[in-house]
Structure 1
Amino acid sequence: MTLTPALRRVGQAHIATPRLETPFHPRLQALSTTNDWYTWAGYKAPHSVFDEELEYFAIRSTAALFDISPMVKYRISGGDAERFLNRVTLRDVRKLRPGRVQYTAWCDDHGHVLDDGTLFRLAETDFRLCCQERHLPWLADSAEGFSVTIEEETETLAALALQGPTSFSVLDAAGFSGIETLKPFQLAAFLHEGHEIIVSRTGFTGDLGYELFAPAGIALSLWDRLWQAGELFGLRAIGYNALNRARIEAGFIVANADFTTAETALRPDRERMPDEIGLDWLVDPEKPFFNGRDAILNARQKKSLRYSLVGLEIEGNIPAEHAIVYHRKSREAGIVTAGIWSPLAKRNIAIATLSRPFGASIVDDLWVEIYALKELQYQKLMKRAKIVPRPFIKLERRTATPPFRF
């Protein structure tokens, strides 16, 4: 194929286009010894910062700081904000009080999941929606007839996840007075350099942890405030690989990793309903009409759900990520979407999508096919798997209020 000069220039410009850098990037760049970066929503983000094994143990043993600024963030406000969000999301937003956070998801009219995320109620008519994918056109179309204002604040709002057993001690030492009263899924406002920042007791690790949201202009000074306070509490900066291990242990799912979102699915059989990815508990059929309601309830009534998302415990210690799951070693039943050897649970664990009836009425005699590289040769291993509840770990410190001091 021969490229015209015009196409060649377009291609070169695309290659030369730099990834965006988050407000915290200068600090991460200075700390990085692995130089291991990936692209998250157009931003340069670290797979690891210094050592992904030690970064994981920072989450579980001390405290870890993870830059979540690339997470897509929408500010939704106005007199109809509650009614609008109740129309597009699965849970009853009327039950979400100001100062609280709600994990939720939203679907298209066919009941297929568009994304999941967290909904923050900052005030009576003021919300923040955080998620993996961008949905501004869909949100704007859905808002027709509602008195709401929708603004994307991904670029202007810096965000950090501070996770781990000493995370409370770090915030306390940094001068966040009253942080000990914050309950899980609760938020509060604090001042930093004369600006309001929001701190919520939320996270993606299944551990004690917080998320901080601040104007981009004060991001570096906020980082420095936490970093200085965390020196005596083992605070470390981490990348996604360590966070991913922790979220698997916590049984959390990731859009376009454990399920394909409806807008990105190329084939109809790749779309998923909430019940097919373990989010059936989010659906509130008693609230006013919401997107996908009829399709979801109809699928339940007709028992036409096609998939199950399950937790697996697998014999051995070789991670089974992307392994095929079989029934009786012969019939293909599904695929592992995420799998690790868990240092905390001391088990080989995985999240898998199974085609029903597997994972629903058929739950026994499951096997995974793992290809393990040994001495430059792949060895096929068939390992027994059993369905187990998620989360794979439960930590008392995650919900203890006030938090323990470590």
Structure 2
Amino acid sequence: MNQLPTLDASAARAAAQSHFRTLRLGTPFQPRIDALARTNDWYNWAGYRAPHSLWDEELEYFAIRSQAALFDISPMTKYRIAGPDAEAFLNRVTLRDVTKLKSGRVHYTAWCDDDGFVLDDGTLFRLSPTRFRLCSQERHLPWLLDSATGFDVTVEEETEAVAGLALQGPTSFAVLRDAGFAGVERLRVFDLAEFPHDHGTITISRTGFTGDLGYELFVPADKALSLWDRLILAGELRGIRAIGYTALNRARLEAGLIVANADFTTSEHAIRADRLRMPDEI
């Protein structure tokens, strides 16, 4: 005769099933973000536990517009593309003319499937004549590797190895200056440069997703917490606040900036043929 499961057995089964509903990945900044979380409002960003909000989504938005807002962009997909043919390879697979992208500059671009429909969009950072970083919403490593056939180039995903922060808002420059990043005042819009940090270097670009004054900082994962602490300490008198995606999303909508699979459907995700989009349509 079958017996009903005991309470302990039912609880164990429920705990086992919850494994599949729990976001397991944390970014290198997760200890600091978890310590600030008051709303407990999380979402899944490419498998990472990311905050919709941390304390108050409306006040977080106003931190972008009147102070300095810190947002963790580590889950953003990042590829290191390097080699003698890196420029030629990227000029073939992306839409904008990469030969015009100088070292120390960033440009916005997109890339398409074989039928000309947009696979994704993102930012291309030229770190040196033969080294690039491509940042995107979706993962494209197999497609990039297939497209690299015949080119003397290496393509590696570095999403986990490189942490990222967006520092946005009218006092963001003052925070970086007070944090000791000498020379950051020379960065024009879409410029990038390397700066010393914690016995190593980080990359700072004058880019962002808010339409406001802002910067993006890329740091080796093992130096992430020291960078966070350096910025928070320097920004204390400048009103620096950590924010979640809801506030950032409001700012990017005001700026007219688009997001793949939110404002348009990428060709890999489109189920209906009439949802495919070419670049000029977007």
TM-score by length of structure 2 reads 0.93
> Which residue in 1 is equivalent to 2:216?
211
Secondary structure of 2:280's counterpart equals: helix
State how 1:156-235 maps to structure 2 within 5 Å: 156-235=161-240
Quick one: which of 145, 154, 157 aligns to 1:152?
157
What is the alpha-carbon distance in structure 1 between the residues aligned to residue 91 and residue 255 of structure 2? Answer: 27
> Which residue in 2 is equivalent to 1:65?
70
Q: Which has the higher contact order (CA 8 A, sep 6+)?
A: 2
| Aligned-residue offset at 1:19 | 2.3
**More strand by proportion, 1 or 2?**
1
Quick one: which of 19, 38, 44 aligns to 2:49?
44
Matched, 1:33 2:31: no
Identity of aligned residues (%): 74
- Contact 2:23 2:47 (8 Å CA) reproduced: no
> Which residue in 2 is equivalent to 1:114?
119
Matched, 1:274 2:279: yes
- Contact 2:82 2:155 (8 Å CA) reproduced: yes
| Structure 1 residues 29 and 14, CA gap change in structure 2 (3 angstroms) | closer
Secondary structure of 1:275's counterpart equals: coil
State how 1:232-311 maps to structure 2 within 5 Å: 232-277=237-282
Unaligned runs of 5+ in 1: 1-7, 278-406
What is the alpha-carbon distance in structure 2 between the residues aligned to residue 89 and residue 104 of structure 1? Answer: 7
Secondary structure of 1:276's counterpart equals: coil
Aligned length: 269
| Aligned-residue offset at 1:268 | 1.1
| Structure 1 residues 13 and 54, CA gap change in structure 2 (3 angstroms) | closer
What is the alpha-carbon distance in structure 2 between the residues aligned to residue 209 and residue 15 of structure 1? Answer: 37
Matched, 1:136 2:136: no
What is the alpha-carbon distance in structure 2 between the residues aligned to residue 14 and residue 36 of structure 1? Answer: 18
Secondary structure of 2:62's counterpart equals: helix
- Contact 1:19 1:39 (8 Å CA) reproduced: no
What is the alpha-carbon distance in structure 2 between the residues aligned to residue 209 and residue 39 of structure 1? Answer: 25
**More helix by proportion, 1 or 2?**
2
What is the alpha-carbon distance in structure 2 between the residues aligned to residue 13 and residue 80 of structure 1? Answer: 47
> Which residue in 2 is equivalent to 1:76?
81
What is the alpha-carbon distance in structure 2 between the residues aligned to residue 223 and residue 82 of structure 1? Answer: 33
> Which residue in 2 is equivalent to 1:342?
none
| Aligned-residue offset at 1:194 | 1.0
What is the alpha-carbon distance in structure 1 between the residues aligned to residue 122 and residue 247 of structure 2? Answer: 20
- Contact 2:23 2:48 (8 Å CA) reproduced: no
Q: Residue type matched to 1:154 in 2?
A: T
- Contact 2:124 2:132 (8 Å CA) reproduced: yes
Could you give the per-residue CA deviations for residues 249-286 of structure 1, whole angstroms, max 9, x where no partner exists?
00001100000000111111111001111xxxxxxxxx
What is the alpha-carbon distance in structure 1 between the residues aligned to residue 116 and residue 274 of structure 2? Answer: 13
| Structure 1 residues 58 and 17, CA gap change in structure 2 (3 angstroms) | closer
What is the alpha-carbon distance in structure 2 between the residues aligned to residue 164 and residue 201 of structure 1? Answer: 12
Unaligned runs of 5+ in 2: 1-12
Q: Residue type matched to 2:222 in 1?
A: G
What is the alpha-carbon distance in structure 2 between the residues aligned to residue 253 and residue 96 of structure 1? Answer: 22
State how 1:377-396 maps to structure 2 within 5 Å: none
- Contact 1:265 1:271 (8 Å CA) reproduced: yes
Q: Residue type matched to 2:49 in 1?
A: K
What is the alpha-carbon distance in structure 2 between the residues aligned to residue 132 and residue 205 of structure 1? Answer: 16
